[in-house]
Amino acid sequence: MKDIYISGVAMTRFGKHDQASMQDLAQEAVLGAVADASETLDNVEAFYCGNVFGGMILGQVLLRDLALAGVPVYNIENACASGASAVHLAMHALRAGVYETVVVFGVEQLTKLGGGTIPLQLNDYKTGLYAEQGMVLPAVYAMRGTRYLHEHGVTSEVLAKVAVKNRYNGSLNPYAQTRKETTVDEVLGSRMIADPLTLLQCCPSAVDGSAALVLTTRKPQGRHAPVRIIGSVVQSGIREQHDDDILDAEITARAARLAYRQAGIGPSEVDVVELHDAFTIAELIYYEALGLCAPGEGAALLESGETSLSGRIPVSPSGGLLAKGHPLGATGVAQMTEIVWQLQRRAGDRQITKHARIGLAQCTGGGIAGVDHAASSVHILSL
């Protein structure tokens, strides 16, 4: 099987970009990644665009000013896992020998979208049922949080500590939307969204940004240590049953098992993680689903300090979705960008203490579609 390398990465700052168009954001990331790879656009044989709300043929529209006539552009929508799914599909083409070098980018401009960022489809039975009861994503995750606290005998302060950790990391990240530290008291004292989740325990939903990767089958000869993708899995969920455990992130656990098998490693060999912490409770659930700790021990892992920047297994060193922001289509690509920077020790003030060799990025999408999740991806990167 051919090795797939990430030869270049780049991203824009995540946040509100009043003076920039989605085209500006995408081109900044794409050109930055190509320059980081010491490549030229002439050597890029295809582009993969991950996006949720941009509309049809978005990639072609965003790249038209770059004079890329005749180069194939693929547009991928898979909810919050759109960018990660684009990476997965690009890898298939590279391994099949269709291309040698491609660019994958994710982009979103939610601050100019209007009408809310998570529309509910009333024509779908399960989603319509959620909508009638006001069951948007914060309410779904609040139920998970309430159940987790009850099942494992922990307090809401533990959830708040996830936000404290990730906002500290984000304060060190020049690309993050939120660059302000916070305290447990401030988190718990912020506006209640859906008990037990307060405002500072929910990722920002109005955010713009783009991220890009150059993928190639040619081993990079540049100034940075080559990073390979050694595991790439995208899974879709199964329909929920009435007796399903709301804390069972089965789709993510399944994707992780497949990715570990593909990479030939186990969870204990992972050195750094970027995960889908859209809400504080999600981080604890995904600790367990990814095998970073035993079931029910997510809170203990957090409180041990092992997931901090100086810990055994740093999680969300970028600040995660909670601080960096969550521009849906860009998120999965940005997670991998951060893992590359961490492995190559280019992460600046937020550089983790340990010298990492293996990193994992996990992203999910479509959490209100009547399945455990509509999509879940796990990518494993290695020096």
List the one residue out of 50, 317, 1 whose CA is nearest residue 166.
317
C-alpha to C-alpha distance for 381 and 358, rounded to whole angstroms: 6
Active site residue 203: no
**DSSP one-letter code for 240:** P
C-alpha to C-alpha distance for 213 and 29, rounded to whole angstroms: 9
Q: Is the peptide bond before 196 cis (omega within 30 degrees of 0)?
A: yes
102 phi, psi to nearest 5 deg: -135, 165
- C-alpha 127, offset from chain centre: 23
Map residue 48 onto helix, strand or coil. Answer: strand
The two structure tokens encoding residue 146: 């309430």
**52, 82 Cβ separation under 8 angstroms:** yes
List the one residue out of 323, 316, 326, 301 whose CA is nearest residue 359.
316
The two structure tokens encoding residue 366: 């479509």
- Amino acid residing at 122: L
Q: Which of 80, 203, 293, 363 is labelled catalytic?
A: 80
Active site residues: 80
